[in-house]
Structure 1
Amino acid sequence: MVSSISLSIDSDLDKVSLLARAVRALCQDLLSSDDQDAVELSLVEAINNVIKHGYHGERGKDVQVAVGLQADQVVIEVIDHAPPMPAQVLDTASEDRFDFDETDLDGIPEGGMGLALIRMNMDEVEYHSSGSENRLRMVKRVVPLSE
């Protein structure tokens, strides 16, 4: 079974949850509830990053999401036409971003937490930029439900 669907929204933060709910619904027959949560969280973080950092909050820009449903994995690509993010940003986004004293408000990291969440919640994360197009590819493997 391989099926795919493409969705797109305007770069409006108010529309992100609608897209996230649609993708979650597409995944519900393949993924456990926890894995659906992980995919939804990762997708919201990725799209918010595009809108806030890539498009600087400007509306009227295109954000596309391609969802590929396969028997063994769900592949989600977030596609935008913002300036590319520096290649090393994804490489440095790790769980270490959450190793801080939450009582020290001045010591809370400024950025990179969204990408770190994505890396923690997805099985594979890749970023490619070519020409004017950026693609963040996220994979969640399907864990067969035990009988």
Structure 2
Amino acid sequence: MSGRRITLAITSDLQNVPLIGQAVERLCSLIPLSDVESHQIALCVVEAVNNAIVHAYGNETEHEVEVIFGQYPDHLILQICDTGRAMDPKHLESQAASPFDFDPCRLNCIPEKGLGLAIIRKTMDEVTYTTSEGKNILILTKSFRPCQAKEEPLR
């Protein structure tokens, strides 16, 4: 299957994460996705990059986080890559209780952490994680209808 891809890389400083989010949202706007879907996908990538910086690298700023944006005729694949500590794959498994199940009227019960992966799982069509030869790769897949293709090509 033919596709086009672009690789974005930042150093593992949380101040750089908005650059990735803006770039991904702009790239998504060039393919047949709504503005809302583009924003949601960018949010997922931002959450994943934040997790790589905070959890894989322990907030150390001298590492690299890479995002590979792959556009195909009917889907999008985003790979978030790092070389830090590997994530426990159990974090991606569906949990009995969703972190979104809370009473918004009880402010002391609103979850403050742990929503990133839940947002990613809810937004994306497929989420997988692999570790090989010291490289961790979170793979996010989003399908779309190719008949709605926009005329402006990915550059």
TM-score norm. by structure 2 comes to: 0.85
String of CA shifts for 1:66-115, please: whole Å, max 9, x gaps: 0101110111000001111111111146871111234252x444643100
Which residue in the other structure is 1:57 paired with?
59
Q: 1:16-55 alignment to 2 at 5 Å? A: 16-30=17-31, 31-55=33-57
Q: Among residues 78, 82, 85, which one is paired with 2:84 in the alignment?
A: 82
Structure 1 residues 67 and 34: CA distance shift in structure 2, 3 A? same
Structure 1 residues 50 and 28: CA distance shift in structure 2, 3 A? same
Structure 1 residues 62 and 95: CA distance shift in structure 2, 3 A? farther
Q: For the Cα contact (< 8 Å) 1:128–1:135, is it kept in 2?
A: yes
- The CA RMSD measured in Å over matched residues stands at 2.0
TM-score norm. by structure 1 comes to: 0.89
Unaligned runs of 5+ in 1: none
Q: Is 1:5 aligned with 2:6? A: yes
Q: Structure 1 residues 4-13 or 94-103, which shifts more?
A: 94-103
Runs in 1 of length 4+ with deviation above 2 angstroms?
92-95, 107-112, 143-146
Q: Structure 1 residues 107-116 or 58-67, which shifts more?
A: 107-116
Which residue in the other structure is 2:103 paired with?
101
Secondary structure in structure 2 of the residue aligned to 1:15: helix
Per the TM alignment, residue 35 of structure 1 is displaced from its structure 2 partner at its CA by 1.1
Secondary structure in structure 2 of the residue aligned to 1:58: coil
Q: Structure 1 residues 74-83 or 28-37, which shifts more?
A: 28-37
Among all aligned residue pairs of Structure 1 and Structure 2, give the percentage whose two residues are the same amino acid.
Answer: 37
